[in-house]
């Protein structure tokens, strides 16, 4: 067998097994053989992993790039470049319907055109539905599936995005029969709206009050409601960006009952607390996201536990980049010198730091390397129908992340200028790292070489991934009573 590339001397980590002493043989961008002492030919490139972990290229299944409602921040080009520099080789980002869009076909075409030929890593597209008309749900969603868009995101909050429970139920009828994965942003809108109004009346509008306005109970209630809607309809859902202990417990309880309920958490809910929202000079705005950062170290620990015990299926960045100091950026929440948290665009940048931060959890003994691979590579690929991603095995794409061997990387403290995103800050500024991806390989090509050249790919390396149905999330054919959802 001829190989274009052989990676030797690594510890190959998959979601189930970790094996040393095996070479990875790559041909035409695909892993074609894993075995001992693979034979090189004169034209084979050899990469020596020097005893380091090799994990599958990261799959970041929750990324926002160039959304029309986010005026500043990363493009598909800069965001995907940032991804590969942090060990991620696939992102799934959103095409977002506006309420007035009567068809989603042009919406998807518009986002596809922005991405096409510009990406540094492979990419898929999810659809955010904000106005699920009968025609869209019945006639257009099947066309989405044909185009490889096999997932939708639904919001229970935010005025421009929020759906009523009835609308969610109607969508669930369609996504169930089409085999689409249904993502839900679960926060109780009315609770939040009332709190924001009263905080404003009381003059409590600093960034910190963003967290006060979205208490854990708002997330927990909406999470349980979303689970109930899913149970009624026998439609699998993934609760996105789960931040709170009680919400995670609702998900775990549903899973124990064998309901098709999945959960996702994000790096900031493992590392950052709401005290970050305080701070001089409006700095707290940098950490405004929804759900908000939580209060106590126990909240962080609960999220780590839920990663380790399998409650969380996926671990995503929710890279929702707004610059701090730019028109329409975080600073938009400073109105004539007065802080107005309601006007701060929500979301944190993090597509590049996601894998290193989770890997730090492996080094700290919070999770295993198998957990790392499961939630950040393998499960997101399975959940969203990426059949060639997330596993190091013959037949899968040769997307690899090669780390530093233990003790071989000089530890450093992160500053924003080390990152490759087009954002003027990182919420993880000052975080110490003991490891970072040394090489990232996309379908057999090295696109990140930290010691020699940094980003060495070109725009357009990444291709659109037409996704299949989820191989993880499926209806169970279990119903609450004799009633059946329409087919």
- For Zn ion, the binding residues (CB under 5 A) are 159, 185, 193, 318
Cα separation, 262 vs 373, in Å, equals: 17
Are 124 and 465 contacting, i.e. CB atoms less than 8 angstroms apart?
yes
- In whole angstroms, the minimum distance from the beta carbon of 346 to ligand URP comes to 3
Q: Which is nearer to Zn ion, 170 or 318 (CB)?
A: 318
CA angle 246–285–131, rounded 5-degree value: 65
Q: Which is nearer to ligand URP, 180 or 344 (CB)?
A: 344
290 touches ligand URP by CB under 6 A: yes
- In whole angstroms, the minimum distance from the beta carbon of 189 to ligand URP comes to 12
The sign one gets for the Cα dihedral 46, 27, 56, 393 is negative
131 touches ligand URP by CB under 6 A: no
- In whole angstroms, the minimum distance from the beta carbon of 31 to ligand URP comes to 33
388 binds, among Zn ion, ligand URP, none (CB under 5 to 8 A by kind): none
Q: Which is nearer to ligand URP, 290 or 314 (CB)?
A: 290
Closest residue by beta carbon to Zn ion? 185
- In whole angstroms, the minimum distance from the beta carbon of 161 to ligand URP comes to 8
Q: Which is nearer to ligand URP, 176 or 214 (CB)?
A: 214
Phi first, then psi: give them for residue 86, nearest 5 degrees.
-115, 20
Structure tokens of 467?
A: 């996704």
Q: Which is nearer to Zn ion, 266 or 360 (CB)?
A: 266
The beta strands (E) that lie in 391-482 are given as 400-402, 412-413, 432-433, 439-442, 445-449, 454-455
Cα separation, 154 vs 166, in Å, equals: 12
159 binds, among ligand URP, Zn ion, none (CB under 5 to 8 A by kind): Zn ion
Number of residues located near ligand URP, criterion CB under 6 A: 9
427 binds, among ligand URP, Zn ion, none (CB under 5 to 8 A by kind): none
Single out the residue of 185, 214, 268, 374 in contact with ligand URP (rule: CB under 6 A). Answer: 185
**Residue 431 CA, distance from chain mean position:** 20
Are 422 and 74 contacting, i.e. CB atoms less than 8 angstroms apart?
yes
Q: Is 381 helix (H, G, I), strand (E, B) or coil?
A: helix
Q: Which is nearer to ligand URP, 269 or 282 (CB)?
A: 269
Q: Which is nearer to ligand URP, 185 or 467 (CB)?
A: 185
Q: Which of residues 331-350 bind ligand URP (CB under 6 A)?
A: 346-347
61 binds, among ligand URP, Zn ion, none (CB under 5 to 8 A by kind): none
Cα separation, 381 vs 391, in Å, equals: 9
Cα separation, 314 vs 63, in Å, equals: 13
Q: Which of residues 54-113 bind ligand URP (CB under 6 A)?
A: 64
Are 306 and 367 contacting, i.e. CB atoms less than 8 angstroms apart?
no
| DSSP 8-state class, residue 145 | H
Angstrom distances, CA of residue 370 to CA of 38, 56, 269, 294? 25, 11, 20, 27
- In whole angstroms, the minimum distance from the beta carbon of 358 to ligand URP comes to 18
Kindly tell me the burial class for residue 27, based on how many C-beta atoms sit within 10 Å of its own C-beta (0-12, 13-18, 19 or more): middle
- In whole angstroms, the minimum distance from the beta carbon of 185 to Zn ion comes to 3
Q: Is 394 helix (H, G, I), strand (E, B) or coil?
A: coil
241 touches ligand URP by CB under 6 A: yes
- In whole angstroms, the minimum distance from the beta carbon of 236 to Zn ion comes to 18
Cα separation, 221 vs 29, in Å, equals: 46
- In whole angstroms, the minimum distance from the beta carbon of 335 to ligand URP comes to 20
Kindly tell me the burial class for residue 347, based on how many C-beta atoms sit within 10 Å of its own C-beta (0-12, 13-18, 19 or more): buried
- In whole angstroms, the minimum distance from the beta carbon of 443 to ligand URP comes to 28
Q: Which is nearer to ligand URP, 69 or 325 (CB)?
A: 69
289 touches ligand URP by CB under 6 A: yes
289 binds, among Zn ion, ligand URP, none (CB under 5 to 8 A by kind): ligand URP
346 binds, among Zn ion, ligand URP, none (CB under 5 to 8 A by kind): ligand URP
284 binds, among ligand URP, Zn ion, none (CB under 5 to 8 A by kind): none
Are 50 and 9 contacting, i.e. CB atoms less than 8 angstroms apart?
yes
Q: Binding pattern to ligand URP, positions 309-328, x when CB under 6 A?
A: ---------x-x--------
The sign one gets for the Cα dihedral 103, 106, 110, 116 is positive
Q: Which of residues 345-384 bind ligand URP (CB under 6 A)?
A: 346-347
189 touches ligand URP by CB under 6 A: no
Angstrom distances, CA of residue 3 to CA of 45, 51, 136, 279, 462? 8, 21, 47, 54, 22
Q: Binding pattern to ligand URP, positions 397-426, x when CB under 6 A?
A: ------------------------------
Are 11 and 18 contacting, i.e. CB atoms less than 8 angstroms apart?
yes
- State the residues that interact with ligand URP by CB under 6 A: 64, 185, 241, 289-290, 318, 320, 346-347
């Amino acid at each position: 067998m001829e190989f274009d590339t052989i990676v030797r001397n690594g510890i190959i980590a998959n979601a189930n097994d970790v094996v040393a002493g095996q070479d990875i043989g790559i041909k035409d961008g695909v892993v074609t053989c894993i075995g001992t002492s693979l034979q090189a030919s004169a034209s084979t490139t050899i990469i020596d992993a020097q005893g380091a972990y090799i994990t599958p290229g990261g799959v970041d299944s929750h990324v926002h790039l160039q959304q029309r409602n986010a005026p500043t921040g990363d493009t598909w080009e800069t965001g995907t470049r940032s991804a590969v520099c942090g060990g991620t080789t696939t992102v799934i980002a959103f095409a977002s319907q506006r309420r007035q869009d009567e068809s989603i076909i042009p919406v998807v075409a518009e986002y596809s055109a922005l991405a096409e030929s510009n990406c540094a890593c492979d990419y898929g597209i999810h659809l955010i539905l904000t106005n699920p008309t009968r025609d869209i749900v019945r006639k257009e969603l099947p066309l989405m599936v044909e185009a490889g868009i096999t997932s939708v995101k639904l919001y229970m909050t935010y005025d421009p995005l929020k759906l009523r429970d009835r609308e969610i139920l109607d969508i669930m009828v369609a996504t169930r029969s089409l085999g689409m994965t249904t993502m839900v942003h679960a926060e109780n809108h009315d609770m939040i709206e009332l709190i924001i109004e009263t905080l404003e009346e009381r003059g409590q509008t600093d960034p910190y009050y963003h967290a006060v306005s979205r208490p854990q109970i708002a997330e927990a209630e909406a999470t349980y409601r979303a689970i109930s809607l899913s149970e009624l309809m026998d439609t699998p859902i993934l609760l996105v960006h789960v931040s709170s202990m009680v919400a995670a417990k609702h998900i775990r309880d549903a899973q124990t009952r064998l309901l098709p309920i999945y959960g996702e958490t994000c790096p900031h809910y493992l590392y950052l607390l709401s005290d970050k929202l305080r701070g001089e000079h409006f700095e707290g705005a940098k950490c405004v996201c929804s759900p908000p950062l939580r209060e106590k170290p126990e909240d962080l620990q609960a999220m780590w536990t839920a990663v380790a015990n399998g409650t969380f299926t996926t671990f995503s960045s929710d890279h929702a980049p707004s610059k701090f100091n730019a028109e329409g950026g975080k600073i938009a929440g400073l109105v004539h010198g007065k802080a107005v948290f309601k006007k701060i665009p929500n979301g944190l940048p993090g597509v590049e730091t996601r894998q290193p931060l989770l890997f730090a959890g492996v080094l700290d003994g919070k999770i295993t390397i198998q957990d790392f691979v499961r939630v950040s590579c393998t499960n997101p690929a399975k959940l969203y129908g990426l059949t060639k991603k997330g596993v190091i095995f013959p037949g899968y794409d040769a997307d690899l992340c090669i780390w530093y061997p233990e003790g071989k990387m000089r530890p450093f403290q992160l500053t924003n200028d080390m990152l490759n995103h087009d954002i003027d800050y990182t919420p993880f500024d000052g975080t110490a790292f003991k490891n970072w991806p040394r090489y990232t390989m996309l379908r057999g090509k090295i696109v990140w070489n930290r010691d020699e050249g940094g980003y060495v790919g070109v725009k357009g390396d990444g291709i659109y991934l037409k996704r299949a149905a989820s191989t993880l999330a499926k209806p169970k054919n279990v119903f609450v009573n004799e009633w059946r959802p329409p087919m």
